[in-house]
Structure 1
Amino acid sequence: MHIVCRSGCCALLLALSFAAARGAETLPLEEEQFEDVLRGIAAERSEADQLRRAKAFAVERRLSSMQVKTLAARLRDDSARLEFALAAYPRTVDPENFYEVYDAFTSFSKVMRLHDAVRPGTIPGPRPGPGPVVTVPETMGEADMKPILQALRKETFDPNRAQLARQILTSSRRLFRASQIKQMVECFDFEPSKLELAKFAYDYTYDREKYFLVNDAFSFSNTKDALSRYVESKSTAPPRR
């Protein structure tokens, strides 16, 4: 009986230890330890060694999205930040907040590369029977629009916004919904700039049958009419991928 009791205690201790270990796996690194890591990476003499050490650490330990952002911001350029962020993402404790890392970048094209890399670009469609696999274009999620709209609003002038918006649309592997295009258009100050983007964005829209929603972003009826005429002239062209 005494032996059984000791065996039961051992089993309980093992179970508790296993549960504690699993719990630790879901927690990010303590801030004091994280500060030590930052100092260690900063002490590396070369940029290549800093990146190597940062990647090795991200693979070995669990970091929060904010910690990944902080560490990425310490690296010299966006190429290094992208390489590090891609290495860190699989072991990030809160991947649903990984959009926070986008703020560490200075180039939106690198942000979109990271965005597309951590979220698959296509999803398999239904297969009613034997035959080829049907792929359905994936659309931009509502949560994914947050950093895009923030970036557009940060720009001071419409020409800069237009350049950034075109870069976003052309570099994304996902299509946008008409309601999302409307949100992007609303970031602009002047009607001509809004119309120019609305025309350009039509080719990157998934639900073109709802493009009338974009009209609500305009203040004047003549601008709405101009967009409607443009949409009619483009209605037979397929969406770009």
Structure 2
Amino acid sequence: MKHLIKTGFLALALLACIEAVGLGQLVHAQKCAKPLSEATFNTHKQQLQQESFEEERMTMATSFIKQKQCIKVSQIKTVIQLFNFEDNKLEFAKLAYNYVHDPENYREIVSLFTYSSTRKTLARYINKRK
């Protein structure tokens, strides 16, 4: 019974934290101490560049970022520029925000998009997570 009460209390505390600071800030509050090295990133970038199908590039990039979990805005920009389709760029930008080392620079990503509607969508997404 004590364990159940303790677990319930911890769950409520976690929900209160998420509500107070927002899910995005909770992720960023647990900042990675060490972002992805340029050497590791460049190896991954070369693999992405060799993939001819955009859907495969998207799968590879998504998988990689989820494994490494700490990536700089400059690296995210590079990956986004490897995609041709605006929807894929936006999808990756949204995902990458959860793994960014320097969220204060994330507005730089917005300028990469061709359409103003996409820029607005990403800006709203970022604002909700601040």
> So what's the TM-score if we normalise by structure 2?
0.70
Aligned-partner Cα distance in 2 for 1:151–1:217 = 22
Letter in 1 for 2:100: T
Letter in 1 for 2:118: T
Aligned-partner Cα distance in 1 for 2:110–2:40 = 23
SS in 1 for 2:39: coil
**CA RMSD between the two structures:** 1.7
Matched, 1:202 2:120: no
Q: Which residue of 1 aligns with 2:52?
A: 156
Identical columns (%): 32
Residue 216 of structure 1: which of 103, 111, 125 is its match?
Answer: 111
Q: Which one has more relative contact order, counting CA pairs under 8 Å at least 6 apart? A: 2
Residue 122 of structure 2: which of 227, 231, 237 is its match?
Answer: 227
* Count, aligned residues: 100
Aligned-partner Cα distance in 1 for 2:98–2:64 = 13
Residues 136 and 190 (structure 1), Cα distance of their counterparts in 2 relative to 1, 3 Å cut:
closer
SS in 2 for 1:137: coil
Matched, 1:188 2:62: no
Matched, 1:166 2:54: no
Question: Could you list the per-position Cα deviations for residues 105-130 of structure 1 after superposition, in whole angstroms to 9, with x for gaps in the alignment?
Answer: xxxxxxxxxxxxxxxxxxxxxxxxxx
* TM-superposed deviation, 1:176: 0.5
Aligned-partner Cα distance in 2 for 1:136–1:168 = 16
> So what's the TM-score if we normalise by structure 1?
0.39
* TM-superposed deviation, 1:184: 0.7
1:72-91 alignment runs, 5 A limit: none
Residues 136 and 175 (structure 1), Cα distance of their counterparts in 2 relative to 1, 3 Å cut:
closer
* TM-superposed deviation, 1:136: 5.7
CA contact (8 A) 2:65 2:99 kept: yes
CA contact (8 A) 1:182 1:216 kept: no
Aligned-partner Cα distance in 2 for 1:195–1:136 = 23
| Structure 1 unmatched runs, 5+ | 1-134, 236-241
Letter in 1 for 2:126: V
* TM-superposed deviation, 1:159: 1.4
Residues 196 and 144 (structure 1), Cα distance of their counterparts in 2 relative to 1, 3 Å cut:
same
Which structure would you say has the larger Rg?
1
Q: Which residue of 2 aligns with 1:145?
A: 41
Aligned-partner Cα distance in 2 for 1:229–1:162 = 22
